[in-house]
Amino acid sequence: MAKSRLIGDYPVIGIRPTIDGRRGVLKVRESLEEQTMNMAKSAAKLFEDNLRYSNGDPVKVVIADTTIGRVAEAAACQAKFEKEGVAITLTVTPCWCYGSETMDMDRNTIKAVWGFNGTERPGAVYLASVLATHAQKGLPAFGIYGHEVCEADDTSIPADVEEKLLRFGRAAVAVATMRGKSYLQIGSVTMGIGGSIMDQDFIESYLGMRVESIDEVEIIRRMSENIYDEEEYQKALKWTKENCPEGFDKNPEFIQKSPEQKEKDWEFIVKMMCIIKDLYNGNPNLPEGCEEEAVGHNAIVGGFQGQRQWTDFYPNCDFPEAMLNTSFDWNGPRETYVLATENDALNGLGMLFMKLLTNRAQMFADVRTYWSASACKRATGYEITGKAKEADGFIHLINSGACCLDACGEVKDENGNGVIKPWYEMTEEDMQACLKATTWNAADNGYFRGGGYSSRFLTRAEMPATMIRLNLVKGLGPVLQIAEGWTVNLPDEVSDILWKRTDYTWPCTWFSPRCDGKEGSPFKTAYDVMNNWGANHGAISYGHIGADLITMCSMLRIPVCMHNVPEEKIFRPAAWNAFGMDKEGADYRACKNFGPFYKK
């Protein structure tokens, strides 16, 4: 659908149809060939029809040339997969097979096994046997076994099996896509924020990525020496003037910039966005003599320090951050970038996880304030209802303009509900809805002495949402928090009263997590969620995708320390069952035991 911005091919899924190797007079193997290969074809079609890479293309799936009954065929399959770039394997079978001979022994692939639930042949026996062998050899695999017995000639995929196959596929493609790419930090630590203290070993060992670091002065150098695409810049500036209206200026008149100074700020921040794009992925259209700069850093995610050395002197990065995180720009709909404000790499990586799972724009926000039902009524006279009432309040998600414009909720589905669409489904009407809901207000001079502009909108839709935070804990390593919930649509007059108590020029979203009311639970109320949150920032995605995140984290060996995902949706490798009956404790122990995927 769109050319990949990144160097390297997208990960391929390989299907391994394994079979009973016995031949002889009764032709055991021969009688199973068609059924086994049909399972592989059904799985391949499911993946191809439902999974997409971040550039919008359907995932590529290859099937072994033959069924795999003995080790020679397993070796032939692996040889093919290595040539095809397979990073993910699904082994399928309706019958007994020779486990250690037919299993995927490649330590670099992400693995699952689907054993058909039928009565004619013991597919479940093979599944249990080979999963035990995977665990014994330290090669964790996801086990998939349908709840209901199926007929031998049934080529359909049961709903519960389909759900697990797609959850595995989405998570595995996301994990494998990150491999070999870069986190680009522009600047360094922002105002002492721990998330912007770069831990290169974590990024290398757990994610298979590398860290690229440049000073913010590189942006000034490129501006000063005209190392940017002039045609692209002029196109971007014209589009910005036509589509990004200025809002009110909250600063006292004596420090407000003149119209001429504001015009120069607009030129600066638009040029800044063009340059950051070039830093991420290069640009073949840079001036002659700039061949080195044209290469880029192969960045799939990054962050911009900004405060305070930059923002005390230059216009802030809110416009580039907001627009790069949005699903469109002057060239129309396009794959979103991920650019973390304040170079909070841990939040940026959380945004990346969810972008790769959903292909949607991601929100970056402060987890700013908890409003209880009583506090809201005291301040506004309003009695909260719906999801907010169920959670006894809501959390104010707000930051200085880095949030994607898609989060305004003005894009609607066929039923009129607010949504954040995958980028390749965005229309001109959708883009205009986001732009018309957003003003660009002069930056607060108390925060940003150098000026600039912050995006400003109010999320006026109730949308399903998942908020996460990736944290690093000394002695423990990485952990992830997940809170599924909904954005809350408060009456405008109520929002205004609460919003004005903080910065009224920043994008505003109210969020209520799904709570259980249980004493001692981090999800008793919205207050308890915020009180247990591990950092000042959160990454927020459209949809309830916590189950996919849990599956993804198990692949990365990152334990999930807090979540409100329904128990029946949790899907981890079968080996996790050997680490105890308490699911969260078992997750910690398994992740520690198997260790980071890329640390050899």
Catalytic site positions = 342, 366
Do residues 540 and 467 touch, judged by C-beta distance below 8 A? yes
Do residues 398 and 503 touch, judged by C-beta distance below 8 A? yes
Q: What is the DSSP letter of 68?
A: B
Do residues 571 and 550 touch, judged by C-beta distance below 8 A? yes
Strand stretches in 259-374, DSSP E? 299-304, 328-329, 332-333, 339-341, 363-371
Which are the contacts of 461, defined by CB distance < 8 A and separation ≥ 6? 409, 410, 417, 418, 487, 489
Cα(195)–Cα(538) distance, integer angstroms: 11
**Which residue reads 């040889």 in tokens?**
79
Cα(189)–Cα(198) distance, integer angstroms: 8
Cα(529)–Cα(390) distance, integer angstroms: 13
Other beta carbons within 10 angstroms of residue 338's beta carbon come to: 29
Nearest C-alpha neighbor of 127 from the set 118, 138, 116 = 116
Using DSSP's 3-state secondary structure scheme, residue 458 falls into strand
Which are the contacts of 490, defined by CB distance < 8 A and separation ≥ 6? 382, 384, 388, 498, 510
User: What's 504-535 look like in SS3?
Assistant: CCCCEEEEEECCCCCCCCCCCCHHHHHHCCCC
CA–centroid distance for 195 within its chain: 17
**Which residue reads 């128990």 in tokens?**
567
Put the strands of the sheet holding 299-304 in their side by side order: 210-214, 182-186, 299-304, 339-341
Which are the contacts of 401, defined by CB distance < 8 A and separation ≥ 6? 316, 318, 319, 321, 322, 453, 454, 455, 456, 506, 507
Do residues 238 and 424 touch, judged by C-beta distance below 8 A? no
Cα(362)–Cα(339) distance, integer angstroms: 10
Strand stretches in 404-514, DSSP E? 439-442, 453-456, 464-473, 477-488, 508-513
| β-strand pairing of 182-186 with 328-329 | unpaired
Using DSSP's 3-state secondary structure scheme, residue 242 falls into helix
Give the torsion sign (CA, 218, 221, 227, 228): positive
Give the amino acid at 513.
Answer: P
- Nearest 5 degrees, angle CA 229-CA 234-CA 236? 95
Using DSSP's 3-state secondary structure scheme, residue 439 falls into strand
Other beta carbons within 10 angstroms of residue 262's beta carbon come to: 18
Do residues 29 and 69 touch, judged by C-beta distance below 8 A? yes
